[in-house]
Amino acid sequence: MSGARASLRQLAALLERGEASAVELASDCLARISASDLNAFIDVQPELTLAQARAADTRRARGERGALLGVPLAHKDICVTRGWRSTAGSKMLERYVSPFDATVVERLAAAGAVCVGKTNCDEFAMGGSNEHSHFGPVRNPWDRAAIPGGSSGGSAAAVAAGLAPAATGTDTGGSIRQPAAMCGVTGLKPTYGRVSRHGMIAYASSLDQGGAIAVTAEDCATLLGAMAGFDARDSTSVERPPEDFARELGRSIEGLRIGVPREFFGEGLSADVRAAVEAALAQYRALGAVLTEISLPQTELAIPAYYVIAPAEASSNLSRFDGVRYGHRAERYEDLHDMYCRTRAEGFGAEVRRRVLVGTYVLSHGYYDAYYLQAQKLRRLIADDFRRVFETVDLVAGPVSPTVAWDIGSIVDDPVSNYLADIYTLPASLAGLPGMSVPAGFGRGGRPVGLQLIGRWFDEARLVNAAHCFQQVTDWHLRRPA
């Protein structure tokens, strides 16, 4: 029995009917991971995986039930996991094994999910192409010459290729939505603070947010239901009553007001992506949604604001990697200062060093007010744009990325072009809004295109239902790479 590109709901039904065991599903995933050439996984521990699967089967035999009990999934290697390596895609943590689980790992394990491995990612989640991993680039299963998107590219590629039915991801500036779009799978970034960051190796603390990558919107709602919730160990965790994020699934979207920002369809958007997104919007109109052109005038300021705020926070967060307590340490050095310098120069890749240097600069004396403070003011203006448009619309829709996935290595030495690819995902991240990427067709070279949906703060249930309704009348999310 093969679970390639099967949904979580389908696999749970197999387990419920006794047509498959958790051990069989996990073994199937492990076999496909072993045979894969995508470089989507950094660490796989079959003994640990099968032990979890056997425990899940035992729980089912005792009469326990649950949507995730016995279902396999993968974790982005930003989430620390006891027993597996937790590297953040970096040489700095190449051999690090965490003594504890991240909260999202802990909660999914409590729900009975079986971890099949840790997925490759851009180093410390810094990048939009998954080319910035110490362990090499991940390949897109739709075209192995292409990037999978980043930084959660390993998770997206694994789900697209059927190596795992679902995976966790983290989204700082689009790192769930962009790879989901480029790999033709569904990705959900919840409202900032909805999912605990405890045990997620930090990049930019005011932006990082855990989320889900899966085949369907329904699967994403199931995963979010297990992951979300207040955590006293995370000072940015929001205390809200428990929610069923699938509660609106199947509800008609007749009359749903969808805002389409004119700034998302200007210069820089490729013709193939535009065509696929406009066709998806037409489908929403056919379902009864009301589309309205809106304006988010601060959109073009999202890139400069983000690439001041995120590197500044990264500079602070990554100061802990000094070779003293854990992680890589240079073998040869003359004194303590030299050890710090050599360790960080050896342990961090080029993109991480670039962002740390930028962040240190904008936080330095004489530049904080000129750069960092101004970027925070721009961030507030961007959030105010969304607050204004959400007075008249229920969702915002547009492209995820200006282009389909580009070829591996084609712009790796051009960081500005890499950063510009985030233009449509950054505004929602800076505003802390929930967002989704929904498969919406294919563009140049048969590479996937995603439709981005952005909802109001803490309105994930409506967001998920809008994606679900689209997936009931289209089959883009069911297409499989050869």
Torsion of CA 473, 476, 480, 482, to 10 degrees: 130
Residue listed under structure tokens 């829709």: 397
Please state, in angstroms and rounded to a whole number, the distance separating the CA atoms of residues 162 and 171: 22
Does the annotation count 364 as an active-site position?
A: no
Q: How many beta carbons lie within 10 A of that of residue 118, not counting itself?
A: 28
Residue listed under structure tokens 């992506």: 273
The secondary structure of the chain in percent helix, strand, coil, rounded to multiples of 5, reads 40, 15, 45
From 86, 90, 129, 151, the catalytic residue = 151
Does the annotation count 175 as an active-site position?
A: yes
Ordered DSSP codes for 88-105: TT-GGGTT-BBSS--HHH
- Phi and psi based region of residue 427 (left: phi greater than 0; alpha: psi -120 to 50; beta: remaining): alpha
Does the annotation count 76 as an active-site position?
A: yes
Please state, in angstroms and rounded to a whole number, the distance separating the CA atoms of residues 107 and 302: 33
Cα 279–Cα 281–Cα 286 angle in degrees, nearest 5 = 95
* Contact by Cβ (8 Å): 437, 424: no
From 7, 21, 76, 152, the catalytic residue = 76
49 CB contacts (<8 Å, ≥6 apart)? 26, 29, 30, 72, 114, 115, 116, 117
From 133, 175, 196, 429, the catalytic residue = 175
* Contact by Cβ (8 Å): 172, 148: no
Q: Known catalytic residues?
A: 76, 151, 175
